[in-house]
Amino acid sequence: GPSKVQEDRRINQDVCGVFNLGMEAKTRLEDMLEITAQSLVHMEVAEHYQIIKELGKGKYGQVVLVTHRKRGTPMALKLLPKASTKLQNFLYEYCVALSLSTHPAIIGMFGIAIESSQHYGFLYEAALHRDLISIIKPKAGIPEVAAKLCAKQLVSALDFIHSRGLVYRDVKPENILLFDRHCQCIKLTDFGLTRPQGTLLRLVTGIIPYTAPELSCGTGDSPGLPIDASLDAWAFGVLIFCLLTGYFPWEKTLPEDSFFEDFVIWQESGLEEDIPFHWRPLSHDAIAMLRNLLALEPKKRGPLQQVLSYLDKPWRAEEGRKEGRKEGRREGGREGQGLATMLNRGDTLQILAVLALLFPMT
């Protein structure tokens, strides 16, 4: 095998490569920001667009479905209140999204950034089939075929983002829009957290299941962690687990979370047996794939492309597949919305209740 010196040299080359890509991305975005700031379109939304309905709402603002009053084109309009949004942050998100929008699995942009009396906003293609969270059934997930379609498209989109010197940092079902109900066409959206590779991330306040463990250990005093593609690999692994099971593998990547602690012990053991109980609906191949994506050491994670070599293998254990079919028949659309609420709120008691129902103690 390679010597310690060779391994250190390879790691240093990788770090330098990531840093250079990140610097190029940073320079490119700064240039775009400057040009966009000078070409903001000043208009009142209602004069040019008819608002049809609200598509989504969050702390940032809202997304509405609109049609152009003259041409009738349906579009999604993201509106951010000027009172609570820095112009620089708005321009940054818009420029990142625009620079990535040529990829088929990333939301298409209309290239119009607007400023009204009360809002900043930008227009992008409307996804009329909502988002991925809307089709995940509690304790069942989504059909395996659909999960694999999602995985294939997301690997391509995330690889593209990484090739542009960026880290997405927000892989979750709410940010994956559906253009049909069978996941044949999905698209990533929401680039507010995307940053150039090598950016120092100092502190993570809201730890969620998708947060990589190296970020959960951060303190206000730490000099910061230079981010890279391994953060997206971790979140992607958690997402695939959710799609196949209908629940999270853990709530927080912290030692006090017993589900995460069990996973850490199992990962570090390197053994195939002693699989945490709630992983058992998954096939051996899916478990091997996820253990790779969810490696505790960032440098051992991924690469995302390795997921493609598992597409022709079963991802659910036969027993798990039968259970999934039963649950799928029992669960209705309203329960699907229940999971959406649960995942959004990160409701500890509900998540633990789901796991307790699934795997009662004997």
CA atoms within 13 A on the CB side of 81: 8
pLDDT band at 25 (very low <50, low <70, confident <90, very high): confident
- pTM for this model (two decimals): 0.82
Which CA distances in Å does 77 have to 23, 175, 232, 233?
Answer: 30, 15, 26, 30
Kindly write down the DSSP assignment for every residue of 279-321, as one continuous string: GTTB-HHHHHHHHHHT-SSGGGS--GGGGGGGTTS--B-HHHH
Question: DSSP label at 132?
Answer: G
Predicted confidence (pLDDT) at residue 297 exceeds the cutoff of 70 = yes
What are the tens digits of pLDDT across the range 99-121?
A: 999 999 999 999 999 999 999 99
Tens digit of pLDDT for each residue in 317-346?
974 445 445 555 544 443 344 444 444 444
Average pLDDT over residues 305-316: 98
Between the CA of residue 61 and those of 79, 87, 241, 339, what are the distances in Å?
6, 14, 30, 23
Read off the tokens for 223: 């000099």
Q: Token pair 């999270």 is at which residue? A: 248
Q: List Cβ neighbours of 305 (8 Å cut-off, separation of 6 or more).
A: 155, 159
pLDDT in tens, 242-263: 999 999 999 999 999 999 999 9
Which of 8, 159, 170, 232 does the annotation list as catalytic?
A: 170
Angle at 34 between CA 223 and CA 202, to 5 degrees: 10
The pLDDT tens digits of the residues spanning 39-94 come to 899 999 999 999 999 999 988 899 999 999 999 999 999 999 999 999 999 999 99
Distance CA 344, CA 351 (A): 11
DSSP E strands: which ranges in the chain?
A: 41-42, 49-57, 62-68, 74-81, 109-115, 119-124, 166-167, 176-178, 186-188, 195-196, 200-201, 225-226
CA separation, residue 19 to residues 26, 99, 164, 166, 229 (Å): 10, 19, 12, 10, 12
Phi, psi of 68 (to 5 degrees): -70, 130
How far apart CA 158 and CA 302 sit, in angstroms, is: 12
Does the annotation flag 78 for ligand binding?
yes
What is the pLDDT, as a whole number, of residue 332?
42
Residue 170 catalytic? Answer: yes
What is the pLDDT at residue 313? Answer: 98
Neighbours of 217 (CB within 10 A): 14
Structure tokens at 153: 């498209």
**Average pLDDT across the chain, whole number:** 85
- In this prediction, residue 23 has a pLDDT band, given cuts at 50, 70 and 90, of confident
The first and second tokens of residue 125, run together, are: 């293609």
Structural domains of the chain, with CATH: 6-124 (3.30.200.20), 132-358 (1.10.510.10)
| Portion of the chain with pLDDT greater than 70, in percent | 81
